A = this chain, B = another copy of it.
Amino acid sequence: MTEWIDRFPGLVALHAPVRDRLVASARVIEVPADTVIFGPGRPPENLLLLLDGQVRVQQIAENGREIVLYRVHSGESCVLTTACLLAFEDYTAEGIAETDLRAVAIPRASFDEAMSTSPEFRRFVFAAYSKRITDLFLTVEEIAFGRVDSRLAHKLLELAGDRAVVPVTHGNLAAELGTAREVISRQMAEFQRRLWVEQKRGQVTIIDRPALEAFARANPI
């Protein structure tokens, strides 16, 4: 059961001593869905490597409005928190378990030691940073310049994965896109009128995926 490390392609290149020390100090933890993992006042204690489940990282404004910044999926790490973890600065964002999680928790000291001793570990960490940062830049571009209908179509397909039923409220979707609930309601009504989706309270069902995908393709970003 120490072979969680094979789930992270960037870590398989670690040399044996580094790998062993990391495995020895890490603990596999389980976290129930909807737990706030870190946030203002709850600084992250560990570097988390997600084995199962996903984490939603969102920014919350003073007026209570929310915007989803990014998600961490299984096989990825909550790496942006490490900056704050090591710099002792506090995050304005919060991380929430969207599902039950199984994750590897690497304590601050072990993280620091691995950063010190292993070029491969540094590569792993910086590659994760790099991905997150370029993603964030694209998010900024999308919010600034993208159209709501196009972004909503993409987001629905993303949230659906290969399933048809997406368990989200209009309010959730508004937070995903950084817009207002009413805007989502009107846009979803239009998608429904076109018979692309059906709606129930707290749930959207994609009933014409090809059409939705065609629309998404025709309206990139």
B-binding residues in A (CB < 8 A): 59, 61, 63, 65, 67, 69, 80, 82-87, 89, 91-93, 112, 115-117, 119, 122-123, 126-127, 129-131, 133-134, 136-141, 143-145, 178-179, 221
Q: How far is the CB of A41 from chain B (nearest CB, A)?
A: 15
Q: Indicate if the CB atoms of B130 and A83 lie closer than 8 Å.
A: yes
Q: Indicate if the CB atoms of B137 and A59 lie closer than 8 Å.
A: yes
Chain B: which residue is nearest A85 at the CB level? B126
A84 neighbours in B (Cβ, 8 Å): 130, 133-134
Partner of A140, one of B91, B130, B131, B178: B178
A116 to B145 alpha-carbon distance, docked (Å): 40
A85 neighbours in B (Cβ, 8 Å): 126
Chain A interface, DSSP helix/strand/loop, else mixed: helix
Partner of A145, one of B65, B93, B122, B139: B65
Q: Indicate if the CB atoms of B145 and A178 lie closer than 8 Å.
A: yes
Q: Indicate if the CB atoms of B86 and A123 lie closer than 8 Å.
A: yes
A139 with B140, Cβ < 8 A, contacts A126-B82, A130-B87, A133-B83 known: yes
Q: How far is the CB of A9 from chain B (nearest CB, A)?
A: 13
Chain B: which residue is nearest A10 at the CB level? B87
Partner of A61, one of B82, B122, B141: B141
Q: How far is the CB of A100 from chain B (nearest CB, A)?
A: 26
